[in-house]
Structure 1
Amino acid sequence: MLPTPCHVLGDVHLGVASADSERRLLRHLRLLPETARSLVIMGDLFDFWFAWEHAMPRTGFRVLAALADLRDAGVPVLWIGGNHDCWGGETLALETGATYTLEPWRGRIGRWETLLAHGDGLRTKEDAPYRRLRTVLRHPWSIAAYSWLHPDFATRVAMRSSKTSRKGRARDGGSGLLAVGTAALTAADGPRLVVHGHSHVPTLTAAGRGVYGNAGAWYLDHQFLVIDDDAISRRQWSASGDVDVIESITRPD
């Protein structure tokens, strides 16, 4: 169980995100102990991250340190791995103290029975080719072979090949993942809250027997979700440094 208020961040893509986006993220993380009791990262915090045995990517070093500080302050961090930061969960967990998983997470966030998943590969038809590719990319033999590449060269290769999957928002406007979430929320034994990332489309809407949410892409919108016991809201850091509440939905009975 994660305590509320719980802040949910999605798709930061450090490495291609602007310096301003990273500064806003660091400010958000440093203020978090004053405003939240837990944090969820919905994947793709990095545009690319890989755990070599004796080397560590320098991208996002200050953000990783801020996450470690959160754990030291008693704020639990749950990290749902995405398709850009799936090759280093154990190392990321050890360095930050976060709970890291590549599998969908189901449990309670406050009073909400919740299902969390990054969202890559969930659409039945459209994502079938990607699921086959993902099986290869995440195979232990592939990971072992990639680890032999020099980090500078390997990172350049990965960044060039990841342009398509990070560019802009989902072509379907997020409707595919919304349909997946709605199906889960409609099931008799389903959760009351489903949250995805991946599409980069900020969303908060009633669906099925509960609520569907997507924090969008921090590097595009600087938006996030806040889960309280009785409601969930979508918020945004403004250019002035204030946090604006865009919309809110009360928890269904």
Structure 2
Amino acid sequence: MLPGPVYLLSDAHLGVAPEDAERALVSLLRAMPGEAGALVINGDLYDFWFEWQHVMPRSGLRVLGELARLVDGGLPVVWIAGNHDCWGGDILRRDIGVTYHEGPWRGELGGWSTVIEHGDGLREKEDAPYRRLRSVLRHPWAIRAYRWLHPDFATRVALRSSHTSRNMRPRDGGEGLRKVAHERLHGADAPQLLVFGHSHVPTLERIGRGVFANPGAWLDAPRLLRITPDEVALARWDGHALVHEQSLSRA
């Protein structure tokens, strides 16, 4: 269970994001103590994240520092693996202290029974080739082999391929993931709240008895979800405070 208010953001793509996006994120994290009950990062905080035994990506260091500060202050931080930062390990779990989670997250989020997934690979037909590739890229043997590459060279290769991935993200305006949400929220075991990222399309709508939400991409605009027992809000961070753009109350 994560206590509310829960702040949830996705797809910052640090490393290729504009400096303004990183500065806005740092300012949000610094403002969270005393305001938020928990933080959830729904994937792709980094455009590329990989951990060697003694090396880590250089970009976004200030964000990592602020996350460690939040954890040290007692704020729960959950990081759901995305398709760009799915190779997290000891640095995130042990040194920074976040709860790094691979696959769907299920639990209570600010008083709502919730399922969170980043959203990559969920479209049945369109994402079939990607799912096959993903099984290779995340295989322990592939990860072990990649660690033999020099970090500078490996990072250049990864950023080149991640550029292609960003350009090839769902071009259907989020309709593919919205279709998946409709199926999930009309199922027998539907949660009260279903959250995706990945599409970069901010969404907040009621489907059946549940709510489907996507905070959009922090890379594009400093938006996030704020979840309390009474409502789910899509909000924008203006550098000093959250400005609610849309909200849905509990049915």
Scaled by the length of structure 2, the TM-score of the pair is 0.97
Unaligned runs of 5+ in 1: none
Cα distance in 2 for partners of 1:71, 1:226 equals: 19
Q: Do 2:88 and 2:100's aligned partners in 1 also have CA atoms closer than 8 Å?
A: no
Given the alignment of the two structures, is residue 131 of structure 1 paired with residue 131 of structure 2, yes or no?
Answer: yes
Partner of 2:33, secondary structure, is: helix
After superposition, give the CA deviation of every residue in 1:32-69 in whole Å (9 maximum; x if it has no partner): 11210100000000000101011111111111111111
CA distance, structure 1, for counterparts of residue 6 and residue 242 of structure 2: 15
1:4-47 per-position Cα deviation (integer Å, ceiling 9, x unaligned): 00000100000001111100000000111121010000000000
- Give the corresponding residue for 2:29: 29
Partner of 2:184: 184
Q: CA deviation at 1:170?
A: 2.8
Aligned to 2:245: 246
Within-5 A mapping of 1:1-253: 1-167=1-167, 170-238=170-238, 241-252=240-251
Distance 2:87 2:124 in 1: 24
Quote the offset at 1:167 in angstroms: 3.4
Give, in whole Å, the separation in 1 of the partners of 2:155 and 2:208.
Answer: 42
Secondary structure at the aligned position of 1:106 is classed as strand
Once the two structures are TM-superposed, the CA of residue 91 in structure 1 deviates from its matched residue by 2.7
**CA 1:182–1:229 in structure 2 vs 1: closer, same or farther (change >3 Å)?**
same
Structure 2 residue identity aligned to 1:62: R
Instruction: Give the secondary structure class of the aligned counterpart of 1:220.
Output: coil
SS in 2 for 1:35: coil
* Structure 1 residue matching 2:191: 3-state secondary structure: coil
Could you tell me how far 1:130 is from its partner in structure 2?
Answer: 0.1
Say which is worse superposed, 128-137 or 162-171, in terms of deviation. 162-171
Q: Which runs of 5+ in 2 are unaligned?
A: none
Give the TM-score taking structure 1 as reference length.
Answer: 0.96
Tell me the distance in 2 between the aligned counterparts of 1:74 and 1:105.
21
State the identity %. Answer: 57
Equivalent position amino acid for 2:211 in 1:
V
Q: CA deviation at 1:208?
A: 2.3
Root-mean-square deviation (Å): 1.3
Q: Distance in 2 between matches of 1:155 and 1:193?
A: 36
State the shift of 1:92 in Å.
1.3
Give deviations 1:135-178, integer Å, cap 9, x for gaps.
Answer: 00001111011000000000000001111222386311111111
Other structure's SS at 1:16 match: coil
- Between the two proteins, the alignment pairs up a number of residues equal to 251
Contact 2:190 2:210 in 1 (8 A): no
